Amino acid sequence: MRDKFTNKPDIIFLMTYDREKYLQAVKAQLEPNIFKHSLALEACMNGIYDYLQSQGQLGQNEPPKEDWLLAGLIHDIDFGGEFKEFHPGKTKEALAKYNLEISDTIHKIVLAHDARQTHIKKEWKAQWAIFCADSLTGLIIAVALIYPSKKLSDVKLSSVLKRFLKQPKFAAGTRREEVTMCSRPEGLNIPLEKFIEICLTSMQKIATEIGL
């Protein structure tokens, strides 16, 4: 499909990978809750990218949006089955099991989600995004589950903020110090409250996909 004004191919239709194939691989390799987390992080990467782009905050060397999204979707693919004990060191091997590959750029984004272990230097906002948002998805899902409806659409930002800021034992696996780094000027430069709002609304858009 082409842009009707410039007659250039529309970028949406220029995705260089088949998302469905990666989606099926992630689904096959991971436990259902990790699979849902993978979809949630993909959605967060989408929302963070769009926000930064709207603010004119993405530099020339930033990887394209499709790299952000695919990294979010497959970042934990080696966190299941025979690869689990080697996570996050077997991403490419886990993908190869399904005859899939990723670029070195996407691999560098993936490795940044677990920078505590990989010690990778974060050179793009994509790497900060995956690093800061990874564990936040779990807290947002945990907040949804305490609502009587258990629906993400019912979750209020204030409710997430309260549990993030004032209840450190709530969803204790959330790496709050990493999420909070979203406000670092050398990283995403997004205030914490805004960052949590972006991730919450991004996840709400795919609520039915993750069964919430």
**Binding-site ranges for Fe ion (CB under 5 A):** 76, 134
Residue closer to Fe ion by CB (options 27, 162) is 27
Tell me how far, at minimum, the Cβ of 114 lies from Fe ion, in Å: 8
Q: Are 212 and 144 in contact (CB under 8 A)?
A: yes
In whole angstroms, the minimum distance from the beta carbon of 180 to Fe ion comes to: 17
CB 14 within 8 A of CB 38: no
CA distance 118 to 192: 24
Taking the C-alpha atoms of residue 191 and residue 175, their distance in angstroms, rounded to an integer, is 17
The one-letter code for the residue type at 44 is C
* Pick 138 or 147: Cβ nearer Fe ion: 138
76 or 178: whose CB is closer to Fe ion? 76
CB of 183 to Fe ion, least distance (A): 21
Q: Which is nearer to Fe ion, 138 or 154 (CB)?
A: 138
Q: Smallest distance from the beta carbon of 79 to Fe ion, in angstroms?
A: 7
Q: Which residues pair with 2 in a beta bridge?
A: 9
